Each structure stands twice: as C-alpha cells, then as structure tokens.
Amino acid sequence: MIKIITAAQMQELERRTITEARIPAATLMERAGSGVVSCLEQWMGPVRGKKVTVICGKGNNGGDGFVAARLLRRRHANVRVLAMASLSELSRDAATMYRQFVRGAGKSSVHPYTSQASAQSLLQDSDILVDALLGTGLSSTITGRYAAVIESINETNRPVVAVDLPSGLQADTGTSLGRSVRASLTVTFGLPKVGLYQNQGIDLSGEVMIVDIGIPPAYIDAIDCRTTLITPQGVQGFLPSREPSSHKGTYGHAGIIAGSVGKTGAAAMAAQAALRVGTGLVTVATPSSVNDILEAKLLEAMTVPMPETKARTLGRTALDRLVSFMAAKDALAIGPGLSTHPETVELVQALTKQLDRPAVLDADALNALTGRTALLASCKIPPIITPHPGEMARLEFGATPQSVNSDRVGTATRFARERGLYVVLKGARTVIARPDGAVAICPTGNPGMATAGTGDVLTGMVVGFLAQGIPSWEAACAAVYLHGASGDLAAASKGQVGMITRDLLEQIPAAIRLVRESPVSLRGSMWNGPA
C-alpha cells in the first residue's frame, strides 16, 4: 500500500528533502523530467522520429517539462517547446532547465505563445503532447491564455502526457478549475495525489504512473495520512500460501444466501467467484423452486433449497434453517439476487441480527437494511458492505447518488466509522473504508466492467477470501484489487465494449497468478502485467 497525499503534504515532503536531506531542487526536477520520459516510452514505445510538443508554464512544473524536452531530444524525438512565459518570468530552477534545453536544441525549438491560433497549429502538428503547464499548487480558476491553450490541447485529439497531474485539476479534490487538460497518461511524482482518484480527476488523469524522485522513506513514513493506494505488492502479502499437504477443507467453506426467480445468475456468479479465488467449499442457500435451476448452472458449488414465498423468494419460514446453515460456514455472503419482497426483507433483517462470523452484505441485503442500518450494530464481527452509490445513498440518511459520488472517500469513511463496519463503495476507483478511519483506493478496473453481474462477482471474491481466514480489511482490499485487475485483463483480451461478467470471472486466476508471481508496475487505470 502506498500513501495518497494532498498538495500541502507533497510540498512539505519536497521542502524537507531539499532543506534537511540537502537534495537540490534542481536534482528533484531532473529526476521528475527523466521519469516522465521513461514512463512515456514505457507507455507508448520509442519516441525516435516522433513530433513531441512540450507545453511549459512558468513554474517548476514547466521546469520538469524543459527537462523532459531535453531528454526526449536525446532519444531522437523531434521536440518543440510551447513556452507560456518568457525567460525572465520563469522560476529560478525552471529558467536553469530552459537554458540547458536551449543550449542543445537552439532557440528555434522554443515557440513563445503568441495566439491561440498559432498554438493550435503547433499542437496539431504533433504526435504526442506533454502537459507541463501547471502543478499541484493551483487553487484559482484558469482564465486567459492558459485556458485557451488547455482548450487547444484537448481539441487536438493527440495523446497527452500530464506532468504530475493534468493542468487545471485541483490536486486535493479532483475538481476542474474552469478548464482542465484531459490526459491519456499522468506521471505523478513521489506519491500519488488525492485528486487523481476523485471526481473529474478519474476521467481527466487517464492512466496514472508513479515516479520515485528520491524523497527519503523516513519523511514519507512521518506523514499523517490514512488514505492509501492498493498496490499489487500489498495484495501479494494478503494472499494465503497453499501448502503441498493442504486439502479442500484447508481453504474454508463459504456460505452464500442468494437468488430468487429470474435472479439465479447472481447467486451462480457469486459462487463461481468464491471458488475462483481459491475457496475450498462453497454452498448456496436459495429458494426451493429455483434450486434445480441453480444446480444446473453450478458444477463445483453445492446448493441447499430453502423455504420460499409464493413469489419464489426466500420466505420467513426459512429463518431457522438458514441460521443452522450459517453456523456451519466459515464466512457468509448475503444479498445477490434475493429480491426486495417484503417477506424476504424481514428475513434478511432477522439474519443480520444473527451474524456471528465474517460476512459480506451486498445488493438486496443492503436494500433490506434501508432505514434499519442500526441492525448492523448487532453483528458480533463487523461485516463488510459493498454498496454502489445508489445503495449507499439509500443507507445514509439524506444522501443522493450524486452527493455520494461527489465525496466518495468522505462518505465511505464517515459511514464506516459511525456504523463500526467495513465499507466497499463500488464505482470508478472503488473506495474501501474501515471502522478506525483508514481508507484505501483501488487503482484497477475499467468502464467495461459497467455491466450486470460484476458486483455479484466481487461479493463472491470477498466471501471467498474471508472463508480462507483472511481478515476483513485485507480480504476486502485483495478482492477489490483483483476484481479490477481481472476486468482489466478481460478488457485487454475482449475490449471494453460488450464485455460480460463471465469474461471477468475467467480472468480471476490469471490476475492472482500475476500478483503472486510477478513484480508488477504501479499503474493507475490499467493492468499491464509484469513490468
């Protein structure tokens, strides 16, 4: 796990590095520019012969851009700099890097900004754009020529590499300050910034890559920060080992209470996902009249028919049998495809009071708790809930899906603390919060996963890890990361459009294998396998 920080925290890290560790600011700038070039080539291949235009502002972000321009030229790219400020307006270190670039490339490679039309022409005549306009300190609305050049960058339809974060993006909130660059790749320095994973930052940042610029680890450790980014290395440490002498009983028995007429697919996908993460045994409790249908869909999992309503959903009379069912399992999942039939809702509320082992509540289990979230306090072990924004809004009084999405970290943290449980707030950059206020953000996943059933797979993965004895926090983080990674592998194979949940299910073992066996690069929105 790696800390996600604010702009002020990054500035403090840089200050300490320069004043206490005595690493010159110019050295940090050199490392940043070098990192941009390295990530750019890793992302899209050699730059030799390509027209690369670097758009430089007057501050240190522009200085990073001048370094990148110089190093890109060494790699035989055709480099031009669009300078938004004269030499006299540049910060001291940016001016130094400007002179070094000009010494090798000549002044003719620097094009001062004179008009939007001339800038548009230069940008259009490019293969790649590097956005080094504005850094993390931005706090006011962008206007004038900076707004005009950002508009031109976005209109060119060329790949854009943002330096540290897309210009115009507020580093802490992820909101756009009037105009913002839409980047294809963001190369961020030291530690990732909160705004890259919130609000418009999710769409504007593209893929995120992190570059180590040499900030001493002790300074990073000293930062008071409860928000982290889930990394493959972190997930690797959460996964249980599989000893040669083990058997199916070694890896736990997951119980899943799910399904109703027309919704056995949700139960089946949750069960298959639990098996795919290595669970030894999985049994699904489902309404009796749909049990045969579910059995036909499942070869490796077991099923248990339970008393039902006339509407073919789980009925109140199933309570005692389900309590016995739960007592024989290592971990439980309740919710996928249960329906919101009034009798089923009453049943779920009664079962919630009886929970005495690790559990994950999703979908209709959460709908059943709308207005009754106090019941969660009766669980002897804090459960994991996995709402999407609509479900989260129904659970939190006065919230709307829009208000939840506008403050995903705050919403998840607040609910987890108030209710004493674990919250997995699903969506782009899923947020995991625990009762003590710690938060993790998942960098994997893609829009191809916006399809029916992927939430049921996540529920199955969580309960599968819980059944294997992984603690709740680690189980939630591992499941969310590998769920997104599986979706990324599926998208790489099938494409995002038309991807279905079974494509994701099939990739779970491959995602686990990559995390277990390979050193994996820290990536933002894409899963790219071994570095």
The residue ranking higher by pLDDT, 280 or 524, is: 280
pLDDT value for 394: 94
pLDDT value for 501: 97
Residue 523 pLDDT > 60, yes or no? no
What are the angstrom distances between the C-alpha of 378 and each of 348, 352, 406?
Answer: 13, 8, 30
Confidence at 517, pLDDT banded by 50, 70, 90: confident
Residue 373 pLDDT > 50, yes or no? yes
pLDDT value for 138: 78
How confident is the prediction for the chain on average, in pLDDT? 94
Residue 52 pLDDT > 80, yes or no? yes
Cβ-based neighbours of 56, under 8 Å, separated by 6 or more: 62, 63, 65, 66, 69, 81, 82, 83, 84, 85, 94, 98, 132, 133
Confidence at 518, pLDDT banded by 50, 70, 90: low
> Among 138-142, 262-266, 267-271, 359-363, which stretch is predicted with the lowest mean pLDDT?
138-142
Helices (H), 211-360: 217-221, 232-238, 264-276, 291-297, 319-327, 342-354
Percent share of the chain, pLDDT over 70: 97
Confidence at 136, pLDDT banded by 50, 70, 90: confident
Burial (0-12, 13-18, 19+ Cβ within 10 Å), 338: buried
d(CA 202, CA 199): 6
135-164 as b/e, with b when 16 or more CB fall inside 10 Å?
bbebeeebeeebbbbbebbbebebbbbbbb
For residue 158, what are its two tokens? Answer: 């060329």
d(CA 354, CA 350): 7
Tell me, what DSSP letter sits at residue 173?
A: T
In 3-state terms, what secondary structure has residue 306? strand
Q: Do the Cβ atoms of 325 and 333 come closer than 8 Å?
A: no
Confidence at 145, pLDDT banded by 50, 70, 90: very high
d(CA 86, CA 517): 51
3-state SS of 28-87 is HHHHHHHHHHHHHHHHHCCCCCCEEEEEECCCHHHHHHHHHHHHHHHCCCEEEEEECCCH
Question: How far is CA 262 from its chain centroid?
Answer: 32
pLDDT value for 447: 95
Query: pLDDT tens across 98-125, in order?
Result: 999 999 999 999 999 999 999 999 999 9
Please report the domains of the chain, with CATH numbers, ordered by start residue: 2-225 (3.40.50.10260), 234-238+254-517 (3.40.1190.20)
pLDDT value for 525: 35
Q: Do the Cβ atoms of 129 and 159 come closer than 8 Å?
A: yes
pLDDT value for 529: 30
Residue 210 pLDDT > 80, yes or no? yes
Residue 366 pLDDT > 70, yes or no? yes
For range 382-387, the mean pLDDT: 98
Residue 527 pLDDT > 70, yes or no? no
Complete edge-to-edge strand list for the sheet that includes strand 302-306: 2-3, 227-229, 439-441, 431-433, 422-425, 384-385, 359-361, 331-334, 253-257, 281-287, 302-306
pLDDT value for 397: 84
Render 194-207 in DSSP notation, one character per residue: GGGGSTTHHHHS-E
Confidence at 530, pLDDT banded by 50, 70, 90: very low
Q: Do the Cβ atoms of 384 and 475 come closer than 8 Å?
A: yes
Nearest to 306 by CA among 283, 292, 286, 323: 286
d(CA 493, CA 488): 9
For range 456-483, the mean pLDDT: 98
Nearest to 413 by CA among 386, 436, 429, 430: 436
- Diameter over CA atoms, the chain: 83
Residue 277 pLDDT > 90, yes or no? yes
Percent share of the chain, pLDDT over 90: 94
Confidence at 519, pLDDT banded by 50, 70, 90: low
pLDDT value for 135: 82
